Structure 1
Amino acid sequence: MPASATRPAAKPIALLALAAALIVPLAACSSEATSSDQPQTLRYASGDAEPTCLDPHVGGNWPQAILANQFLESLFSKNDAGEIIPWLATGAEASDDQLSWTITLKEGVSFTDGTPFDADAVVANVEHIKNPETASSTAILALGKVSEAVAVDARTVRFDLSEPDSALLESLAQTWLAIESPAGLERGTEQNCLAPIGTGAFQVASWEKQSQVVLTRNENHTTAPQDGVTSEGQPGATVGTIEWKFIPDAATRLAALQSDQVDIIDSVQPDALSQFQANGTEETLIGARPGVTARVELNTTRAPFDDPKVREAFAASADIDAAVESLYFGTLDRSTSVLSSATPFATSHPDSFEFDAARASTLLDEAGWTERDADGVRTKNGERLEVAFPVSTNQSIPAEISVLEQIGATSSEVGFDVQLELLDLSTWYERSGTWEFDAIVAPYSKNSADVLRIVYSTDSITPAPSGYHANNTGLSLPALDEALDAAVKTSDDAERKRLYGEAQQLIIDSGTVIPLYDQTVQFAYGANVHGFRLQPNVNVPSLVNVTIE
């Protein structure tokens, strides 16, 4: 098998004509359901961390995205073929020199506070994201090449760029760049974090910290995106209320579903998923998050992983295939790619990640880690071969933590001392931002291969205004920077494929990344729930057309 096998790329990006009606309701979604005197309440239980701010411009993590997708909307989305489609926009055109994009906007759309959606609103959002005081990370990195947004007229906005950015429309199709009411933004960060104001199918009614966010239906919703299956459909939520509950314990979430206390749960454990798939007691939905895979990244800014031989030894000492097979019950496959299978231009590198304890031991000997202490841990010049490994319990389900524990166990056999430390999300971010780790698993979603530039370029070693740095390896490779810069400047898919393939090979050859599997979203719900789906822009859940029998 070749060292690098390329997966098929997604279809070339194309702006489709604006559909008259967008997300499709199922046959079960009758008019009686939406006009009932007692609108339905949907109860959703999340295992992801409760956001500290509901505004995805601030910071910009996955828990914010899955919740904000219910009440905020973006300029663009994607369909199931991977094509960019209009949402709040109606189309886009690049200048001949690729240094500006002119985007036309829908008419007759208003935010739920009555503020009109127009070009000035888009400009205000771009300025909000790029303002250092907003402390954005994901959104500001996505707009890194945008110099400014200019309102040409009420229905037209121009994005001026410092350099060509072939991934701009893909970036604008993400929830972290969703458009919010300018009047809402003007309230200030503290108030806007509590209840961002959008154009979505729902609006934030209340937030009871450490319990739930309650969303209510936007009766004037007009702008649902095409769902990628059919161009027929209609905007407007079906249920009247969503109770978005925070239940961090996986067993408690599962019990709540099975006792009919909630209708949908996320972050489902693999054993439960496998059981549901086998016996059909609950419906399941699994999707790969676009962007990078779940992968172990090694910090090269300090010992021991500043030494390439030690990095190579650690990868060879980790029996990942056996861990995934035993702990995931066939619900996902081991990946040897930096990019998720949901991301165009992903390449696999199976020959680079073979478990070989004997080879790991030889490499450590060559690196000078020849002695062992009484615990069997290798030493060099009196220093133990320790690996500080902080893990976010909010970003990793128990099965993933068990995988990391098994990696630690097999690595210990050749002399590593892997010290897993389970942390809440805020502490994990702090530890990551101050480089207090040797190994880390850091999810990052983006719906294009340009995520490699965000995560592995030299520029991303420098923290964003939020204090977050996307490059956790600390490795600066000029050849990698050149390939990623060239890839984002060209719109030729054949050239992008070549350049992203070259970039992935350089990352793999650096020994700084050990892929595990696709970062996935896993849901379970009762047979009485209809219309639940993932929105193809970044595979976030969409509840707009859910009905409950």
Structure 2
Amino acid sequence: MARQSLVALAVVPVLLVAACSGATSEDATPQDGGTLVYATGDAEPTCLDPHVGGNYPQALISTQYLEPLVGRSEDGTILPWLASAWEVSDDGLTWDFTLENGVTFTDGTPFDADAVRVNIEHLQDPDTGSSTGYLAVQKVASVEAVDATHARFHLTEPDSALLESLSQQWTAMESPAGIERGMDANCAAPVGTGPFVVDSWTPQQQVDLVRNDDYAGLDPEAGHDGPAYVEQIVWRFIPDAATRYAALRSGEVQMIDNPQPDAVAAAGGDSDIALIDAPRPGASNRIELNAAQAPFDDIRVREAFVRSADIDAGIDTLFAGTVQRSSSVLSSVEPDVYSEPDLFTVDLDRANELLDEAGWTERDADGYRTKDGERLTVRFPVSTNQSVAAEQSLFEQIQAGAKQAGFDVVLTPLDLSGWYAALGAHEYEAVSAPYTKVGPDVLRILYHSDGTVPAPSGYFANHAELTDPALDDLLDRAATTSDADERSELYQQAQQTILESYTVLPLYDQLNRFLVRDAEGVRTLNTVATPTFLDARVLS
């Protein structure tokens, strides 16, 4: 079989992160052993197996006990991890992965080619209810276990994003014996090859992780060989940002995520607290307008909404100088990012002209525009688990600006399950829906017409409901080409098409920020920017 090198296909983004960080008082010393307490403000997962569903809170915690086939360096190079090498056929339809020999899952099950096959089939099984992982491996027709250390992927069509997809936590490898236990047992305690093991889960309180003393040490960017330094991680669920920050300041916890902007701003001048800033790859944080139903099935109304939203003023007021405005659908860390700032300048006069042209010429007693007796209403469900308080306040400022143009924006705070239900029932005209995937192929997931069809979990990713054959063609060609320059150009064209459709209002990069105290050696992976505690030490 003819082969070509990996380099010809692997076009990956650069992630700019604080690779290693920690802070404490000057007389503290690092210790081996001990317990590190992490407090998260993200929604508590309903399942600790990231194959099931596939949201970011699952990626955060599963980084500690599940490992992917490949990793990524800071400059975007794909690195060996559980797979030590790979080759791809000239037609792009066959990938041969050489696996690390002698690795076992923490339940003693061998990690081998058959385990890889089981994992891909688990992701593709409708009963698993996967979304993110399911979409990542859609083009894998089958996995053949050639022998114990060689797994052969057969694809339905070339996939230029395959390695990027296999670097993510949502496609990380799990013990086949663990999967065989059934969903309930596997959700409660997935079994991986990582540096920690799920010991127990107390819902609405914490997950206890213990050290894997037999860790094989395959993390390609580990700072040391062998098992983790800390013996235990207590993964606490503290939804309130002020309470999390107080716990950090008091020494009750060593690390928190989702800090408020004022805490981020203060961290720079506080010698006791260090900031890790790790923007997520893939898509920016953005508001998507549902083009499949009124009133946003009219591009004039979509542009009017965008022109009435003063995002810059809200960012300046609410985020204490800690974020930068985006005018792209891709994260700023993606090399292929394309921006058109002029599309998003505030122009209330233009917004009013567009709405008049669209027939929304009357106003009711409350000042909202009407047409044929119907108010110009925009339902906007807000996930309180995914949007920090400052972002929710930003949505309120957008609501106020849009009212000047005559929009009645109805903000509805919901927990994560309620938010998913509203999206699934198409009970929205606008939504901020964070989505993380390594590389520009995220555009295909989010804006290809195929993305309007739900995954087995019931989740569909194309919330803008874009169904543009020309855009589909650009994304299809980008996903199948092996030419890096062509891929980049196609993704640039696709972004221009998306932005000019006015179905997206970019906000800023998806913010992954962590504050650390009384610990050192914490770093984030250059895949989906999740923290790993393999090199971490508690300071005392």
Please say whether Structure 1 and Structure 2 have the same fold, judged by a TM-score greater than 0.5: yes
1:157 to 2:148 alignment: no
Q: Secondary structure at the match of 1:344?
A: coil
How many angstroms apart in 1 are the aligned matches of 2:530 and 2:188? 21
Change (3 A) 1:192 1:59: same
* Structure 2 unpaired stretches of 5+: 1-6, 12-18
Residue 79 (structure 1) aligned to one of 73, 80, 84: 73
Q: How does 1:233-382 map to 2 (within 5 A)?
A: 233-382=224-373
**Given that residues 244 and 256 in structure 2 are in contact (C-alpha distance below 8 angstroms), is that contact kept between their aligned partners in structure 1?**
yes
Q: Which residue of 2 aligns with 1:118?
A: 112
Residue 504 (structure 1) aligned to one of 491, 495, 501: 495
Q: Secondary structure at the match of 1:104?
A: strand
Q: Which residue of 2 aligns with 1:208?
A: 202
Higher mean C-alpha displacement, 326-335 vs 45-54:
326-335
How many angstroms apart in 2 are the aligned matches of 1:63 and 1:12? 33
1:429-475 deviation line (CA, Å, top 9, x unaligned): 11111211000001111111000001110111000000000000112
Q: Which residue of 1 aligns with 2:172?
A: 178
Displacement of 1:24 in angstroms is 9.4
Change (3 A) 1:24 1:116: farther
**Given that residues 167 and 527 in structure 2 are in contact (C-alpha distance below 8 angstroms), is that contact kept between their aligned partners in structure 1?**
yes
Q: Secondary structure at the match of 1:532?
A: strand
Q: Which residue of 1 aligns with 2:93?
A: 99
1:536 to 2:526 alignment: yes
1:143 to 2:133 alignment: no
Q: Secondary structure at the match of 1:473?
A: coil
How many angstroms apart in 2 are the aligned matches of 1:32 and 1:265? 19
How many angstroms apart in 2 are the aligned matches of 1:438 and 1:496? 32
Q: Which residue of 2 aligns with 1:447?
A: 438
1:191-212 deviation line (CA, Å, top 9, x unaligned): 1000000000000000000000
How many angstroms apart in 2 are the aligned matches of 1:469 and 1:14? 27
Q: Which letter maps to 1:318?
A: A
How many angstroms apart in 2 are the aligned matches of 1:478 and 1:301? 15
How many angstroms apart in 1 are the aligned matches of 2:217 and 2:89? 27
Q: Which letter maps to 1:537?
A: T
Q: Which residue of 1 aligns with 2:459?
A: 468
Q: Secondary structure at the match of 2:479?
A: helix
Q: Secondary structure at the match of 1:163?
A: coil
Residue 59 (structure 1) aligned to one of 53, 57, 62: 53
Q: Which letter maps to 2:436?
A: S
Displacement of 1:232 in angstroms is 6.3
How many angstroms apart in 2 are the aligned matches of 1:424 and 1:332? 25
**Given that residues 9 and 483 in structure 2 are in contact (C-alpha distance below 8 angstroms), is that contact kept between their aligned partners in structure 1?**
no
Q: Which letter maps to 2:213?
A: E
Q: Which letter maps to 1:71?
A: Y
**Given that residues 13 and 82 in structure 1 are in contact (C-alpha distance below 8 angstroms), is that contact kept between their aligned partners in structure 2?**
no
How many angstroms apart in 1 are the aligned matches of 2:132 and 2:45? 15
Q: Secondary structure at the match of 1:278?
A: coil
How many angstroms apart in 1 are the aligned matches of 2:419 and 2:94? 38
Q: Which letter maps to 1:243?
A: V
Q: Secondary structure at the match of 1:463?
A: coil
Q: Secondary structure at the match of 1:449?
A: coil
**Given that residues 59 and 138 in structure 1 are in contact (C-alpha distance below 8 angstroms), is that contact kept between their aligned partners in structure 2?**
yes
1:108 to 2:102 alignment: yes
Change (3 A) 1:501 1:315: same
Displacement of 1:25 in angstroms is 11
How many angstroms apart in 1 are the aligned matches of 2:186 and 2:483? 40
Displacement of 1:344 in angstroms is 3.1
Displacement of 1:223 in angstroms is 3.3
1:105-161 deviation line (CA, Å, top 9, x unaligned): 001110000001000100000110000000000000011111011101000001100
Q: TM-score, normalised by structure 1?
A: 0.93
1:167-201 deviation line (CA, Å, top 9, x unaligned): 10110000000000000000000110000000000
1:76-121 deviation line (CA, Å, top 9, x unaligned): 0101011100110001100111101000000111000000100010
How many angstroms apart in 1 are the aligned matches of 2:245 and 2:256? 7
- Work out the percentage of aligned pairs sharing the same amino acid: 53
Q: Which letter maps to 2:340?
A: H
**Given that residues 214 and 243 in structure 1 are in contact (C-alpha distance below 8 angstroms), is that contact kept between their aligned partners in structure 2?**
yes
Change (3 A) 1:419 1:12: farther
Displacement of 1:14 in angstroms is 5.8
How many angstroms apart in 1 are the aligned matches of 2:411 and 2:282? 25
Q: Secondary structure at the match of 1:520?
A: coil
1:34-75 deviation line (CA, Å, top 9, x unaligned): 4xxxx3100000000000000000000000000000000000
Q: Secondary structure at the match of 1:348?
A: coil
Q: Secondary structure at the match of 1:413?
A: helix
Residue 49 (structure 1) aligned to one of 17, 39, 43: 43
1:287-311 deviation line (CA, Å, top 9, x unaligned): 1111111100001121110111000
**Given that residues 87 and 223 in structure 1 are in contact (C-alpha distance below 8 angstroms), is that contact kept between their aligned partners in structure 2?**
no
How many angstroms apart in 2 are the aligned matches of 1:45 and 1:468? 28
How many angstroms apart in 2 are the aligned matches of 1:137 and 1:401? 26
Q: Secondary structure at the match of 1:436?
A: coil
Q: Which residue of 1 aligns with 2:4?
A: none
Q: Which residue of 2 aligns with 1:518?
A: 509
Task: Name the Cα RMSD after superposition.
Answer: 2.0
Q: Secondary structure at the match of 2:367?
A: coil
How many angstroms apart in 2 are the aligned matches of 1:487 and 1:14? 13
Give the ranges of 4+ consecutive aligned residues of structure 1 lying more than 4 Å apart after TM superposition: 11-15, 23-26
How many angstroms apart in 1 are the aligned matches of 2:8 and 2:263? 37
Change (3 A) 1:33 1:232: closer
**Given that residues 30 and 520 in structure 2 are in contact (C-alpha distance below 8 angstroms), is that contact kept between their aligned partners in structure 1?**
no
Q: Which residue of 2 aligns with 1:7?
A: none
Task: Give aligned pairs, total.
Answer: 523
1:411 to 2:402 alignment: yes
Q: TM-score, normalised by structure 2?
A: 0.94
Displacement of 1:235 in angstroms is 3.6
**Given that residues 392 and 425 in structure 1 are in contact (C-alpha distance below 8 angstroms), is that contact kept between their aligned partners in structure 2?**
yes
Displacement of 1:350 in angstroms is 0.6
Q: How does 1:429-448 map to 2 (within 5 A)?
A: 429-448=420-439
